[in-house]
Every structure is written in C-alpha cells, then in structure tokens.
Structure 1
Amino acid sequence: MEAKVLDTKGKATSDKVTLSDSIYAIEPNDHAIYLDVKQYLANQRQGTHKSKERADISGSTRKIKKQKGTGTARAGSIKSPIFRGGGRAFGPRPRNYRFKLNTKLKRVARRSALSLKAKEESIYVLDGLRFDTPKTKEFISVLTALKLENEKVLFVVGNDSDNAYKAAKNLKNTKVVSADSLNTYDVLNARKVVIAKDAVDVIEKILN
C-alpha cells in the first residue's frame, strides 16, 4: 500500500512511500496483541510490594491467655492476624512479574497493531522530524499543522532525533519512540501514529 508523505507544515509532498502489506495489511491476531500488551504492562511493575506478616511484627511472644477455660478461642500470640496490630495473613510479597514471549509472536502482535491503525486510516508518514533545538513550541507547531494537537499521538522516528524526544517530553498526549523500540502497547494506546520517513525501512527490517 502507498502512503503520501507529509511535511512538518501538514502539506503533502510529491514523495510517496510503499508500506509493506505484510506489516500494515494483515489480519490482526487479537490473542497475540493481548499477550504482548500483557507482557509490556507486567514488565512495568516493580514488584516491590510487601506487607508485614506475623514474623515481621515486633511484639511479645508470650501466650496471651491460658489455653482452656476462657470460653473463647485459643490464642497463642499477640502477633496473630486476627488481632489488631498483628501481621497480615497472605499479604503481598516482592516478586518478579516478567514472563517470556517468543520473538515471532511479538512480531505478529506488532504487525497486527499497525494493521489495525492502517485499517482505521490513523497512520501518517512524515518527511522528517528533526529540530535544531529541543523546543516544545516547535513540536506543538508540527502537531497543529497536522491537526493532531487534540489527539493522543505516537511519533516513530529514526535513531538521530534526540531533540524530538526532548521537545515532546512535556506534552501530555504525545510520545516519541525510536523505530527499533516500537511496541504494541504504544501503538494501540495512541489515536494516531506518525511515522518518520526514515523509520519506515527500520520497521520493515525488524518486523519482516
């Protein structure tokens, strides 16, 4: 499929790029998308949650009342979870939420996400996204020219766009990623995907 190349003023240039059908026009695999997004979100979790169990509580170890004859249930420790100030029963413990996915499946998921966006006509190809200085004002002018200032937008750029990263850092609904770190979650989380012309070949090289 062919796509028009836009400049930073939002106007179509005479240039066109061919987007590979094997990436932008496949039948989306919903389960692959689900697994890849699940892994991405799991990898964001720190897993440092911890509550104090009875072994972690400071308190007396004496038996708080005699075993029999009180008319109530037997109790051996003030640190028991049934008492106020006692340890928590079955509380969260530090753990690693990461899990493995095959590279082939992750490629299918990314191709499926891009195909969904292409089907919705939500993919734009930009001639370039290079700034001499990392100014947010200049980035906003690009968004305005593309009529995307009120949208959640993902910009996919080449590897030499440090100023673009910095310029978009303070923009709430805009994210800039390099083509080699493109992931399924970011594609689906955005309403529109803007791909720099120099990033198209990088994406095809990785996902084909």
Structure 2
Amino acid sequence: MKIDIVNTNGESLGRSIELPSDVFGVEPNEHAVYLAVKHYLKNQRQGTHKAKERSEVAGSTRKIKRQKGTGTARFGDIKNPIFRGGGRIFGPRPRSYNSKLNSKLKVVARNSALSSKAQNGKVSVVEDFTLEQPSTKSFMEIISNLKLNGEKVLMVTGDYDKNLYLSGRNNQKVRVVESRNLNTYEIMNAGVLLFAESAIQGISSAENN
C-alpha cells in the first residue's frame, strides 16, 4: 500500500512511501487485538485498593451480650461485619493485576490494529520535522494544516523528540510516541495515526527484532 507524504503545511511533496505489507497489510485478528488491549489495561491497574476487615477495625472486643437466653441472634463484639462501622466481609486487598502475553501475539495484535487503521484510511504520513522549542500553539497549527482538527491523533515519531512530545502533551486529543513504543491499545484508541516518515522504517525494524 502506497501513501502520499505531505509537509507540515498539508501540501503533497509529490512522492509516496510504501507501507510494509507484513505490518499494514495483514488480515486483522480481532481476538488477538482484544487480548492485547485487555493485557495493557490490566497492567495499568495499581491494585492498591484496601478495605478494613474485622481484625483491623478500631473497637472493643467485649462480647455485646450473653450467648443464650436473650431470644435473639447471638453476637460477638461491636466489630461484627453486620453492624454499621464494623469490618468488611471479604473486602479488597492489595494485589497485582499484571499479566503476561506471548511476544508473538503482541506483534500479531499490533499489526492487526495497524492494518485495520490503514484499511479504513486512518493513516497519514508527514515529512520528518521538529520544533525549535516546545510550543503547543505551533504544534496544533501543524495539526490544523493537516486537517486533523477535532480528531484523536496519535503521532508516531522515529526517535524520541522532546520538543514534539512536550508540545503535544497539553492537548488531550493528541499523543506523541516513538515507533518502538507503539502498542495495540494506543493504536485502537486513536482516531487517526500520523506517522513521521522515519517512523515507518522504525516499525519495520521493530517487527524484525
């Protein structure tokens, strides 16, 4: 699949780039994408939730009333979970939600997501550029020139560019990542993928590693 390369003004440069067919031209595997997205979201969870159980609640351990002869149910101390202010029964405890995913499956899922975006015309390529200093205004002007205003844009660069990263960080609808850090969740979460020209080669290299 060939795609035209444009400059930061949104004008065609009169040349195109061939998107690697083994990355952008595969048959999307929806189940692999599902597993990769679930894996990513699970690993984002901190697992620091905690509720106090009966042994951790502050309160007297004195038995409220005698065991028999009252005609009502038996009770222990005031920390009993059925009382207001008592401990929580089977409350959440700190735990790790991290999971592992086969590396080959990750590649299949990522390529499936990229192919799906390419098939739907949601991939654009811009010539390599940088900013002299971090400037959200300048960065968003480029996004506007590319007619991507209002879109959820994921810009993929070949190498880490601090100025571009800081410039895009202030806009909730824009995210800048390196090609080597591109993952399935971010691809599927974006409306449009904007690749720097050098990032295409970076994705091909990541495939071979």
Same fold by TM (over 0.5)?
yes
Deviations 1:71-109 (A, max 9, x none): 211111211110111001111110100000010000000
* Aligned AA (1:59): G
Q: 1:207 offset after TM fit, Å?
A: 2.1
Q: Runs of 4 or more off by more than 2 Å in structure 1?
A: none
Aligned to 2:59: 59
Aligned to 1:185: 185
Describe the SS at the equivalent of 1:155: strand
Calculate the TM-score normalised by the size of structure 1. Answer: 0.97
Contact map agreement 2:160 2:177 (CA 8 A) in 1: no
2:18 & 2:45 partners in 1: Cα distance?
A: 38
Contact map agreement 1:157 1:199 (CA 8 A) in 2: yes
2:73 & 2:133 partners in 1: Cα distance?
A: 72
2:32 is equivalent to residue 42 of structure 1: no
Q: 1:44 offset after TM fit, Å?
A: 1.0
Aligned to 1:78: 78
2:184 & 2:72 partners in 1: Cα distance?
A: 57
1:5 & 1:51 partners in 2: Cα distance?
A: 55
2:161 & 2:182 partners in 1: Cα distance?
A: 15
2:143 & 2:71 partners in 1: Cα distance?
A: 74
1:89 & 1:96 partners in 2: Cα distance?
A: 21
What's the % identity of the aligned pairs?
A: 50
1:8 & 1:148 partners in 2: Cα distance?
A: 12
Aligned residue pair count: 208
1:204 & 1:139 partners in 2: Cα distance?
A: 26
Contact map agreement 1:5 1:16 (CA 8 A) in 2: yes
Contact map agreement 1:2 1:16 (CA 8 A) in 2: yes
Deviations 1:155-206 (A, max 9, x none): 0002241100000111110000111100111101111000111111110111
Aligned to 2:194: 194
Runs of 5+ unmatched residues, structure 1:
none
Aligned to 1:176: 176
Q: 1:129 offset after TM fit, Å?
A: 3.3
Of 68-77 and 80-89, the range deviating more from structure 2? 68-77
Contact map agreement 1:129 1:161 (CA 8 A) in 2: no
Contact map agreement 1:129 1:157 (CA 8 A) in 2: no
1:1-208 paired onto structure 2 within 5 Å: 1-208=1-208
Describe the SS at the equivalent of 1:56: coil
Q: 1:149 offset after TM fit, Å?
A: 1.3
**Root mean square deviation, CA, Å:** 0.9
2:205 & 2:122 partners in 1: Cα distance?
A: 22
Contact map agreement 1:129 1:164 (CA 8 A) in 2: no
